[in-house]
A and B are shown apart, each in its own frame.
Chain A
């Protein structure tokens, strides 16, 4: 897996993690994923919803998710995404990297002297 060197990668990687995480419970369509992120982050991370789909395709290409057509809760034709075993493994690795990273940044920011 590519290390998160540049900020673009970081963001894309982040979006991937968020998507995978959102699929952990159950398969979902794109709209449900965006809603889940919206609710879980308290709308802090305002992702452009359109960027979700290319990200989903990339995950699918890497066999981290699969998709198939199904019926939505209000009985419309929708494409549902399911996380694969590889996706779960990937999520586990990336999540721990991300957590270590963010903890390190947090430590730096909390270190003396305090930010005025």
Chain B
């Protein structure tokens, strides 16, 4: 095919490509011309000859158009076929070239595999968490509008015009008992319109009907697909079976499909929220219901926000219990459901993704450098090919094809690495990252990887390819070895390495800042002594152990007595909310003589715990003033409380808090403060709010629910005590599940697992970058040395010492590294500001961190260049000088 085209091209030198219309004209004109000439020879007049020729020919214009169209179509298919043929040839040639240089090929492919693998792994998380649409009908129209009470829910539902339907839900995690065993399962209570609002329906059975949410209807529940499979063996006759939820019988009416995981993927059942408008205390006094709605078809998010900002504050006067204050809900806002769900994970994932992009960029630079060195070595081959008629474009294409081939091989290996990495990541991913159940290597991820590898392939091979083919081709053939290379190559390679170091410095700075933050977090004293303490959650079902009942207090006294009697146990206590395990419930309080009017805004205390007398002794929280709780502080004795130092200081700055009185935010007996303890960390180690009030559980058991934590300090292995606690509770009542048995050390460690995850991941990327950077320096300096053997030879011949030569070469590497480090530090100064939200106790421009990283990188540069520099000193001047 090609051979056929060549002469034609030479025949019509006018064109680079065959000019189809011109060729058709040539052919037809030739025909008519020949006919005219023959007619003339036959004795016709010129005019007759011409007319006859045209007549014989027919519709010249039609034929011409037909031929042009035909030939042009044929031209494109032919070019396409040729292109494919060239590509196949390039691939074959590239594969052969790579096989001939296995060390280079393996090094390059491995480098790329690391870069692409890291990217693919993080992208698979980004894809699952951020990109995939929520599995609901028109998920982009779903919004959350915040939290509130059921009274507010009903008022908003009636008033909001920009939101067509509003639903509410609240966590309802309870012990669930199927008659054989009792487990604590995560559940939610939902208004009956929630599932229709989301566009979801059970795969078996029915959804909630509005009657299910009315007071006095028979209790029903819908269970998750995983619970159905796990606990019921996917039984087809599931509808109609009963479960004891919190001690009360519920009838299963439906099973949700596996894709339905609202509001979280660990929710195992849904209960209909029963609303009883007559109970004003429940309607307006208890908040914490999450509101979710669907935007009206013609409403925008902005309109909904505007409406909510006026409607919600106007409900202020509706509250029959108290006046929520002038600032009530003025900051209410509407958030798209996905943004709300993803929350802070978004910025974390984007940051990690950015880090992997840096790693990939470094890998690209490294491979570009390798290719550059190789292209220089192959200069002669390329020059020969150029002389033999391969155009420059053709050569660049050949080299880029080789690069793509490398990238594809690297991507294949990278996908393998990513599969392993994703597997490992799923194990350590903090629970704070939503939708993590959907993380998988799917088609979308593979398409991403393919695109990344194609782009990287072009990026890292284009520069060397253009560089390698730029030199005059004749020069290369004539003088072989180093002809055009030298300075220019070295400079490009140096720039690449400096850039690579700059990128690696950025990552290293980020990693060190995060590691230092994590260390700072871990070094925070929680205010209690977590060593040797075990914690266990005991979930007495409220149905059989109603809050405040003698049965409930009797049960827990029994458990506590038996645990305290265990041989290894020193102290044991009960507490309703364990520190550092989850955000705590708070309370608005009255303060005698200061805030007594319940219709006014009352001071709120973030942390209110109900504890048994030995709580402070068990956690080694010292008593600063007053007395601890004792067994005499019973349900019938005067109510008492212990407050944290901050509370005492805030309300009674004169140091006379003992004996003062506080109260619940409604008409109830005053509670006398009997003791003061130091501030402790409650919600998290970063927690700066220190206000906490402790009350004896014996006096509050009717308010705090039937589920308590037991904490026990043991002399021996606390985990053995944990097993004992399980056994004791099971012996007393097998229907009471024990869950989350963990040492307090583990609880503290888990509370910072998010920042450990971030620090560990970024550090892994930084180490990767460090290694790649070191390899880059080593490669370039080795190349530099081999290029300069002649110069080194001359220097040695002129009497330079080995140390001098080493100094010269290492010095050059250090200059490169210093340039890169300075650039990296400048970039990092700007970039680390974005890290601020993950930093603790360290400034984003912490000089110690920056200094340490700079020193490390200069050290690595010196180290990586020392070996090739030593090699240079073994140069025999006689040999090198003769070489040329």
Contacts and interface: CB of A to CB of B under 8 A. Distances in A.
Contacts of B11: 69, 77
B27 A30 contact: yes
Given A31-B35, A66-B4, A53 B63 contact: yes
Contact of B63 (A31, A54, A68): A54
Contacts, number: 63
Given A48-B56, A77-B11, A53 B28 contact: yes
Nearest to A58: B70
A61 B74 contact: yes
Interface in A55-102: 57, 61, 66, 68-69, 72, 76-79
Contacts of B30: 29-31, 72, 76-79
A50 interface: yes
Contact of B7 (A51, A53, A61, A68): A68
A30 to B, nearest CB: 5
Given A68-B4, A69-B11, A77-B11, A49 B57 contact: yes
Q: Which of A34, A35, A77 has the most CB of B within 10 A?
A: A77
B31 A77 contact: no
B4 A50 contact: no
Contact of A53 (B8, B34, B67): B67
B8 A57 contact: no
B66 interface: yes
Contacts of A68: 4, 7-8
Q: Which of A49, A68, A72 has the most CB of B within 10 A?
A: A49
B58 interface: yes
Interface residues of A, number: 21
Interface in B19-39: 23, 26-28, 30-31, 33-35, 38
Contacts of A29: 27, 30-31
B59 interface: yes
B60 interface: yes
A31 B32 CA distance: 8
A54 B66 contact: yes
B58 A53 contact: no
A31 B23 CA distance: 15
A54 B26 contact: no
B34 A31 contact: yes
Contacts of A78: 27, 30
Given A31-B34, A57-B70, A77-B26, A50 B63 contact: yes
Nearest to A61: B74
A49 B26 contact: no
Nearest to A57: B70
Interface string B257-268: 000000000000
A91 B71 CA distance: 24
A50 B35 CA distance: 12
Nearest to B33: A76
A34 B71 CA distance: 21
A79 B868 CA distance: 65
B41 to A, nearest CB: 12
Contacts of A77: 11-12, 26, 30
A72 B70 CA distance: 24
Nearest to B3: A68
Given A49-B31, A69-B8, A77-B26, A54 B57 contact: no
Contacts of B62: 50
B7 A50 contact: no
A61 B66 CA distance: 14
22 contacts: A29-B30, A31-B30, A31-B34, A31-B35, A34-B31, A48-B56, A49-B35, A49-B56, A50-B60, A51-B58, A51-B63, A53-B63, A54-B63, A57-B67, A68-B7, A68-B8, A69-B7, A69-B12, A72-B34, A76-B30, A77-B11, A79-B26
Given A49-B56, A54-B70, 5 more contacts: A29-B31, A30-B31, A31-B34, A48-B57, A49-B57
Interface of B: 4, 7-8, 11-12, 23, 26-28, 30-31, 33-35, 38, 56-60, 62-63, 66-67, 70-71, 74
Interface of A: 29-31, 34-35, 48-51, 53-54, 57, 61, 66, 68-69, 72, 76-79
7 nearest interchain CB pairs? A50-B58, A48-B58, A50-B63, A31-B34, A31-B31, A50-B57, A49-B57
